[in-house]
Structure 1
């Protein structure tokens, strides 16, 4: 696999994580704890695979510039500039949500999940949008 193919792969991982976050959230709302745990573990695994591929890609491909023009640019950069800080924030939030769950501190787990889930969902959705805008709709990006 060529490094230029990694954005498609890591976006697939991101989409799979998104589906499992939604499934896990649905399962816990229905009171199905074991399927919730399974879905969330799978979401974590896909998110970890995403992050590894993402970091590897940007280490080897370097910085890429958005190729879109006109109105697409402010839209892209608005999405990107909301996505980036929340993506950075999501990792400690996820850790602070998972650890109490592992320790059977479900009160703290639930309290943290109320913050983590919306951020994780937003980051996953906007990550897919960033990929589509940068690599599909207006791409390929310009290598800097």
Structure 2
């Protein structure tokens, strides 16, 4: 019993550590640039991963509403793997590519007057609101997903249900807005 408690306590500490380390590592890795590697194909792939994750999250919700617990669990595991794969692709792309600016149609890394004039203030505000909320919630979703999964794994279904009322919509929002951000920025990738 004591070793089980110790294991559970260790898992909780690991989740907290990962929830801090992952965003810090991503931020730190953005400072590292590896030249000579072309991973320009990755944004389309990780946008697809986000889209598939969003669809699977809907299917997982439907499965649990229909009391298909094993199906729900399997889909959630796939979503977790996809989210980890997304993170790897996202980091790899950003470590090998210059940032892409929204509206930078000539791909020179600067927004010039003609580029600023060609994008509406509304589309720019919309893009940055979606992007900022996406980034903030992607940090928050890590502990939410991991603790939600842990509670189900431990058989603490009341805690699992209570937490997933917050976790599911945030995870879905992060996945869906990942696709929207890609669609909005993708016209500027071709020139970067």
Taking structure 1 as the reference length, the TM-score comes to 0.91
More off after superposition, 54-63 vs 36-45: 54-63
Alignment equivalent of 2:123, drawn from 59, 72, 81 = 72
Q: Give the alignment's Cα RMSD to 1 decimal.
A: 1.7
2:40 aligned counterpart, secondary structure: helix
Q: How does 1:115-134 map to 2 (within 5 A)?
A: 115-134=166-185
Correspondences of 1:1-144 after superposition (within 5 Å) = 2-67=38-103, 69-70=119-120, 71-135=122-186, 138-140=187-189, 143=192
Query: Does structure 2 conserve the Cα–Cα contact (< 8 Å) formed by 1:64 and 1:142?
Result: no
How far 1:78 sits from its partner (Å)? 1.3
Q: How far off its partner does 1:99 sit?
A: 0.8
CA distance in 1, matches of 2:135, 2:154: 30
Partners of 1:13 and 1:46 within 8 A in 2: yes
CA deviation string 1:7-29 (max 9, x = no partner) = 00111111111111111111001
* Aligned-residue offset at 1:142: 6.2
Given that 1:11 and 1:127 are in contact with CA atoms closer than 8 Å, whether structure 2 keeps it comes out as yes
Compare CA radii of gyration and give the structure with the larger one.
2
Q: Give the aligned length.
A: 141
Contact residue 6 and residue 54 of structure 1 kept, 8 A: yes
Within 1, Cα distance between the matches of 2:98 and 2:65?
A: 42
The gaps in structure 2 that reach 5 residues or longer are 1-36, 105-118
How far apart, in 2, do the equivalents of 1:13 and 1:123 lie?
Answer: 12
Q: Structure 1 residue 31: deviation in Å?
A: 0.7
**CA deviations over 1:16-48 (Å, ceiling 9, x no partner):** 111111111110011110110111111111111
Listed as ranges, the gaps of 5+ residues in structure 1 are none
C-alpha distance after superposition, 1:120-142 (max 9, x if no partner): 1111111100000001xx42276
